[in-house]
A and B are shown apart, each in its own frame.
Chain A
């Protein structure tokens, strides 16, 4: 091939992880298009650490990444909106969000930073506890929880929980040794870290999920600009295939998680619309409020996201 592109992500390679599969599909489809582009995939942080991928893309040192956008929120605080409690609610709404003014704003910031979005992806997640099922905010009281991202931490503290931050790979030991009572992460991580062995109740995403995270496939604008129009088209077409594959699989991930927990004898619950509204009320007082006050354009972003039906 004339052009070799490096694609990096943090998930295990070749083991059926959907995000790895998305990147592999991209690589296969681009190869099939026969436009002189080869994509080399580096899974499992074997090239860049998860957090370092963004900076490397903006500098043109990394070409492609499947990247949880919130990881770059230290540089672009607006990205916190892509891991903000209660902004997405369910997979159908995630699909509508992708083409909304909210995502237009986010993607404009992405582009201005020198990065191109190749494929959209929203992952759902939930809560699991060894103490008490987490549904309404009151159930959070007194539970030591590992949350994913500061916006969630602010909301959970607002509900009376306490927070212990650690990498997702340490959640299992944390629960087992009693350092943690509960954890909040993606459906995929719940299964791959076998958290069903250490918990007694799972709050599955269902129709009222608080936890969604935007994990698109991104490409460095510098690498993008070096491609011919034909190559760019092939890449976008491949991205579309990857995105459609993911949309079909995303719900399947939740089902897989529910099955794993049920098989392990763990109680599985969902949040009711009332629970969801109660959490949203707390989020408005905590994470949304912080976000609106501290992030330029934050208030508008939240309003635009909530306006999507």
Chain B
């Protein structure tokens, strides 16, 4: 059988397994091992254990559970609410202040959390009721938070970037830096759109809930500053030469746990068991997909599928921007159905050689890919953030959330185009702080 036929067989089997609802990790693993058994015999089973174990036993991956633990610790406390409230008290005289505090809180919280649904939930719980209370349409309230939440995987730390770094052997520190400015850019685009949309619909942007005295503004700070301190400390630790990303993640997680306990005096055992349960659920799910992807890329490579596809695309000889457009369309499509981590792990080994051969920067591409994944988080049928919002704001229909989110998909597409026109948006900061890439 030729590699392309094998590839088609693997794809069909995988889609069939996914369609009946097999967990992504086990669908990937089963397809891989079946293909290997068919091609090389039962002996292939003997390497399953070592390959899966070896795929997980790496210090770089340590940062994934640790950053998830950090985000869960902050999300389990009222820190998201306080962050939101602090911004609101300080910005509420500015026209459009509520929009700014909502999206601003999302982007700041994103700097504490590696995951998008966590960001969405932490800010949305407070932000959405506040917006609807002051007369913003449901669509704007839900859509802006769903979109703002996606920043969790673009603004560092980001579990998606860590996975990309591991899969492509690129520097995680550099990837984080590459995501920072594009993250701010998207925040600004989201804000600009929201303010424009409010004007267009005649929603007042300077509706004040109430006035805050200077004292009221000051008194929220002590609960917020420690977390801003953690963000600053992590950035310092990462780029000031104290520790690697995995180490920063572990230390950050421990400090967030301690801060939550000290600042909010939350000593209830039930709180910690629920935050560790959330951590375990998300990190085990991701780690199992990582282990299975290790088998999947092994099978694709062993059957020469990866190499054949890469060769085939390099022979196509299309313009590199046409190629980029095709890759984007493909990623968008995959993102409609699959979570970011799975898309990255399944496609990175095939796409990266093509990207590099076409002359694109792997760090820049990581940002493009992440924004594509962000879009997937707010588009049906599998848009994780949509369901999170649906869960925390039961009075807003899924349809409203969806309609509200769509314009932000447009903002992200604009973001991708801007990044294509000016790759420096992603590359300037890492090059400035870390020197040119290897």
Contacts and interface: CB of A to CB of B under 8 A. Distances in A.
Interface of A: 6, 40, 42, 46-49, 51-52, 55-56, 59-61, 166-167, 169-170, 172-174, 176-179, 193-194, 197
Q: Top 4 nearest A-B pairs by Cβ distance?
A: A178-B241, A177-B241, A61-B47, A59-B46
B438 A172 contact: yes
Contact of A61 (B43, B59, B244): B43
A255 B203 CA distance: 71
Contacts of A55: 47, 50
A176 B431 CA distance: 13
B193 interface: no
A173 B174 CA distance: 9
A42 B46 CA distance: 20
Given A52-B54, A173-B434, A194-B438, A61 B298 contact: no
B431 to A, nearest CB: 13
Contacts of A52: 47, 50-51, 54
B54 A179 contact: no
Nearest to A44: B169
A1 to B, nearest CB: 14
A179 B301 contact: no
Contacts of A193: 438
Contacts of A42: 301
A49 B56 CA distance: 12
Nearest to B51: A52
Most B CB within 10 A of own CB, among A6, A47, A173, A178: A173
B434 A176 contact: yes
A29 to B, nearest CB: 22
Contacts of B216: none
Choose among B238, B243, B438 the residue with the greatest number of A CB atoms under 10 Å from its CB.
Answer: B438
27 contacts: A40-B304, A46-B306, A46-B307, A47-B298, A47-B302, A49-B51, A49-B54, A49-B55, A52-B54, A55-B47, A55-B50, A56-B47, A56-B50, A60-B43, A61-B44, A61-B47, A167-B60, A169-B169, A170-B244, A173-B171, A173-B174, A174-B244, A176-B241, A176-B434, A177-B240, A178-B240, A193-B438
A177 B438 contact: no
B242 interface: yes
A169 B244 CA distance: 13
Contacts of B157: none
Given A61-B40, A177-B239, A194-B438, A47 B301 contact: yes
Contacts of A197: 435
B423 interface: no
Contact of A6 (B43, B60, B302, B306): B302
Nearest to B349: A46
Contacts of A49: 51, 54-55
Given A52-B47, A59-B47, A166 B244 contact: yes
B241 A166 contact: no
A61 B298 CA distance: 12
Contact of B59 (A48, A166, A178): A166
A173 B173 contact: yes
A60 B301 CA distance: 17
Contacts of B307: 46
Interface string B321-346: 00000000000000000000000000
Interface in B162-191: 169, 171, 173-174
B243 A176 contact: no
A176 B113 CA distance: 26
A59 B244 CA distance: 36
A166 to B, nearest CB: 7
Contacts of A167: 59-60
B99 to A, nearest CB: 37
Interface string B238-278: 11111110000000000000000000000000000000000
B47 to A, nearest CB: 5
A61 B438 contact: no
Contacts of B50: 52, 55-56
A139 to B, nearest CB: 22
Nearest to A222: B43
Given A173-B171, A176-B435, A177-B241, 18 more contacts: A46-B301, A49-B55, A51-B54, A52-B50, A52-B54, A60-B43, A61-B46, A61-B47, A172-B438, A173-B173, A173-B174, A173-B434, A174-B244, A178-B240, A178-B241, A179-B242, A179-B243, A194-B438
A179 B43 contact: no
Contact of A48 (B244, B298, B306): B298
Contacts of A40: 304
Interface string B12-47: 000000000000000000000000000010011011
A145 B96 CA distance: 53
Contacts of B54: 49, 51-52
Contacts of A46: 301, 306-307, 349
Interface in B409-438: 434-435, 438
Contacts of B51: 48-49, 52
A166 B302 CA distance: 28
A193 B306 CA distance: 26
Nearest to A61: B47
Contacts of A174: 244
A285 to B, nearest CB: 30
